[in-house]
Homo-oligomer: A and B are copies of this chain.
Amino acid sequence: MRLYLVSRNPKKVEELAHLAKACGIELVPIDIPKVEIQSEILVEVALYSATVAHLSVKRPLIVEDSGLFVKSLNMFPGALSSYVYKTIGVRGVLKLMEGVEDREAFFESVIALAAPTLDGVKTFRGSVRGRIAEEPRGTGGFGFDPIFVPEGYTTTFAEMGIEEKNAVSHRGMAFRALCRWLLENCERIACEGWT
Q: Which of A2-10, A80-88, A136-144, A175-183 interfaces with chain B?
A: A80-88
* Bound form: Cα–Cα A48–B45 in Å: 15
In the complex, whether A37 has a CB less than 8 A from a CB of chain B is yes
Q: Mark A147-187, 1 if CB is under 8 A from B, else 0.
A: 00000000000000000000000000000000000000000
In the complex, whether A35 has a CB less than 8 A from a CB of chain B is yes
> Is the contact region of chain A dominated by helix, strand, or loop, or is it mixed?
mixed
Residues of B near A77 (CB, < 8 A) are 87
Determine whether the beta carbon of B78 is less than 8 Å from that of A87. Answer: yes
Determine whether the beta carbon of A76 is less than 8 Å from that of B84. Answer: yes
Q: Which of B45, B74, B87 makes the CB contact (< 8 A) with A87?
A: B74
Q: Mark A10-50, 1 if CB is under 8 A from B, else 0.
A: 00000000000000000000000001111010000100100
Chain B residue nearest in CB terms to A45: B38
For chain A, the bracket of interface size reads 20 to 34
Determine whether the beta carbon of B40 is less than 8 Å from that of A37. Answer: no
Report A's interface with B, CB cutoff 8 A. 35-38, 40, 45, 48, 73-78, 80, 83-84, 86-89, 92, 95-96, 98
Question: 9 closest A-B pairs (Cβ-Cβ)?
Answer: A76-B87, A36-B38, A74-B87, A76-B88, A38-B38, A37-B37, A73-B88, A80-B80, A80-B83
A37-B38, A80-B84, A95-B98 given; 19 more Cβ-contact pairs under 8 Å: A35-B48, A36-B37, A36-B38, A40-B83, A73-B87, A74-B86, A74-B88, A75-B87, A76-B84, A76-B87, A76-B88, A76-B92, A77-B87, A80-B80, A80-B83, A88-B96, A92-B96, A95-B96, A96-B96
16 A–B contacts from the bound complex (CB under 8 Å): A35-B37, A36-B38, A37-B37, A37-B38, A38-B38, A38-B45, A38-B83, A73-B87, A73-B92, A76-B87, A76-B88, A77-B87, A80-B80, A80-B83, A92-B96, A96-B96
